Amino acid sequence: MPCSDNYSYQDEVIYETRQEISFLKAALCFMISNFGIPDASFTNKYDEAGITHKQLNLWAKKHQREDAERRAREQKKREENEAKKKALAKLSKKERNLLGISSRDDWDTTEDED
């Protein structure tokens, strides 16, 4: 029996922390997208949370920019996959075989997402 099973409690804590951060970012994004950012007059609430209106606003703008970039990448990938499907659909069975594409499953690009 080994002295260590290479299991690290730290690894579990890091994983759980990352999961929680991911959830909190998604929840904050949802709240801001649907309800907006409370205005600066809520100073006591911002103080209670340990943040400032400016910090929240900056985070929201950065996050919205990142979301827009991600959506653009995803849209571009969908368009590329669609173009690829259309191009491959024009090939005859013989042409697909010559290219090493034996069946429709081999050139289905729907699972090609990043």
- The domains of the chain are located at 9-107
CA distance 42 to 112: 46
The band of 8, judged by pLDDT with boundaries at 50, 70 and 90, is confident
Write the pLDDT tens digit of every residue in 69-96.
999 999 999 999 999 999 988 998 898 8
- pLDDT score of 5: 62
Write the pLDDT tens digit of every residue in 36-72.
998 888 888 899 999 999 999 999 999 999 999 999 9
- pLDDT score of 3: 61
Alpha carbon dihedral 18, 22, 25, 27, in 10-degree steps, equals -130
CA distances (Å), origin 78, targets 7, 31, 71, 107: 40, 28, 10, 14
**This prediction's pTM:** 0.65
